Chains A and B, each alone.
Chain A
Amino acid sequence: MNIDSIVKGIENGDHLSISRAISLVETNCVNDNVREIISRIYHLTGNAHVIGITGPPGIGKSTLIGRLSGMLHDSGKKVSILAIDASSPFSGGSFLGNRIRMQEALSSRGIFMRSLANRGISGGISRSAWDVVKILDAAGSDVVIVETVGAGQADLEVRNLVDTVIVVLGPGLGDEIQAVKAGIMEIGDIFIVNKIDREGAFLAIKDIEDTLAMSPGKKWHIPVLGLNSLNGEGYQDLLKVLDQRWDYISGDPGFKDGRLLMELRAIVQNTLLSRVEESFAGKNAFSRTISGLSDKTTDPYSAADRIIGKIYLKGD
């Protein structure tokens, strides 16, 4: 498939085209294919409610998405899913296991779902996640669900990627002290206590609610919901809350501005970073500067300033 037919296919929501486009953009090094695809579909983006699902490994994120995506689909919404799993920092390989938990919901309804490996990027998502979300958005999705890598306390990148962060927790993960801690407890727009049939679930809900009550006065009231993903208990409430959240977002025209700035910053940062990597990769990189340093005719900070100037201007 060539890029023309891929772009056309995205507009028509064709799964094969969407999939091929994702393959082209899911790279750590931005290349011409990425630039071309994104520039050609960008005008089609911005219509989807992008929902991030994060939380510790094994808490039930994938199972939750399986059930939620089915219910959203059945209520008439077009849903697409991006699930990110961890790459091995040793072999570079990955076992992408999210799909198994949602396959039933997907295949009977024709929901598009893609697994990505994070390929060495920490923070819970992959570097290409922004571009993949744009493709799914441009393909006419009403809802795009992004599942992060099983997250720890400080994996917060998803906050910059999505409209709504759902933090999924469970009973037995910690007491009220844990709930007050910084990091992942600060990024949720909706909190979920999953596996509500297990002991301690209501205590967990109470601990999170108490913590949230300490910072009142926010425009969006952060709900805490209990779910049982096996029998569907609590899911109607979740659908209702997601509708309210979408109304809230739609009522704030500047809602995405902050994220657009963050994304622009990330692109500039990444582009510069890869230029830095390129310029230092050569065998005799900056050999004159190095001898200047060993002769003490310059110092590291002045030398770095000169190099930064060169790197920054390259390509302009």
Chain B
Amino acid sequence: MSEERFSEAGKNLSLFKEKPAKVLLAKPGIDGHDRGILVLARAFRDAGMEVIYAGLLPTPEQVVDTAINEDVDVIALSLLNGAHMTVFKKVADLVKEKGITDISLVGGGTIPEQDKPALEKMGISGNYGPGTPMKTIIDHVMKRAAEARQKKMSGLH
């Protein structure tokens, strides 16, 4: 399989017939622990997604601004600092404020069980913690990306 791909690199477009899912990974707020999110970025790339990382310490406004400019399918938020109930909510509110209903929000990090229902209510799904198998996360992000893509396409005509 991989040999075949080697010979096709740069020429074969069959790999790119379908548009890949586009995901923005962001740690909004004051949280510099970016090892985990870089591992995710790499894993998402290897799963065939187009990945944008918002860099260290972006504000919620910058995250939403980036999501609009890049027209991502999913904003994937992660925080390990305990500020998720404030900062994730800020991002969700800003998205709503801009009238955007066709970008999915997912979350992750160190999120206590009792916070998850409230986050789900804001439209932020997943909310996976440390130790979650990569496949679980990737499958969920892909599913939410497909939902967003479908909404975008149905809004077109």
Interchain CB contact under 8 A, A120 and B48: no
Q: Which residues of B contact A122 (CB under 8 A)?
A: 10-11
A94-B15 in contact given A2-B156, A103-B55, A113-B69 (Cβ < 8 Å): no
Interchain CB contact under 8 A, A92 and B48: yes
Q: Which residues of A contact B87 (CB under 8 A)?
A: none
Those of B21-64 within 8 Å (CB) of chain A: 41-42, 44-55, 58-59, 61-62
Those of B110-155 within 8 Å (CB) of chain A: 152, 155
Interchain CB contact under 8 A, B45 and A19: no
Those of B46-90 within 8 Å (CB) of chain A: 46-55, 58-59, 61-62, 65-66, 68-71
Interchain CB contact under 8 A, A93 and B47: yes
Look across to chain A and name the residue whose beta carbon is closest to the beta carbon of B56.
A100
A92-B15 in contact given A1-B155, A114-B69 (Cβ < 8 Å): yes
A91-B45 in contact given A107-B61, A114-B69, A117-B50 (Cβ < 8 Å): yes
Q: Which residues of B contact A250 (CB under 8 A)?
A: none
Q: Which residues of B contact A194 (CB under 8 A)?
A: none
Report the bound CA distance from A116 to B70 in whole Å. Answer: 8
Q: Chain A contact residues (Cβ within 8 angstroms of B): what range?
A: 35 or more
Interchain CB contact under 8 A, A93 and B50: yes
Q: How many A-B residue pairs have CB under 8 A?
A: 117
A275 proximal to B (CB < 8 A): no
Interchain CB contact under 8 A, B16 and A28: yes
Interchain CB contact under 8 A, B71 and A93: no
B8 proximal to A (CB < 8 A): yes
A143 proximal to B (CB < 8 A): no
Instruction: Give the shortest distance, in Å, between A276 (CB) and chain B (any CB).
Output: 12
Contact pick for B17, options A28, A89, A95, A112, CB 8 Å: A28
Q: Which residues of A contact B59 (CB under 8 A)?
A: 107
Q: Which residues of B contact A99 (CB under 8 A)?
A: 52, 54-55, 66, 70
Interchain CB contact under 8 A, A120 and B13: yes
Look across to chain B and name the residue whose beta carbon is closest to the beta carbon of A101.
B55
A164 proximal to B (CB < 8 A): no
Contact pick for B12, options A16, A29, A96, A120, CB 8 Å: A120
Report the bound CA distance from A185 to B27 in whole Å. Answer: 40
A-B contact pairs, 17 of them (CB 8 A): A2-B155, A16-B68, A19-B68, A28-B13, A87-B20, A89-B9, A91-B45, A93-B51, A94-B45, A94-B49, A95-B41, A96-B70, A99-B52, A117-B50, A120-B15, A121-B10, A122-B11
Q: What 11 additional pairs, Cβ within 8 angstroms, besides A93-B45, A93-B46, A93-B48?
A: A23-B71, A89-B8, A89-B12, A92-B16, A92-B48, A97-B52, A100-B54, A107-B59, A107-B65, A114-B71, A120-B11
B contact set with A: CB distance below 8 Å:
2, 5-6, 8-13, 15-17, 19-20, 41-42, 44-55, 58-59, 61-62, 65-66, 68-71, 98, 100, 152, 155-157
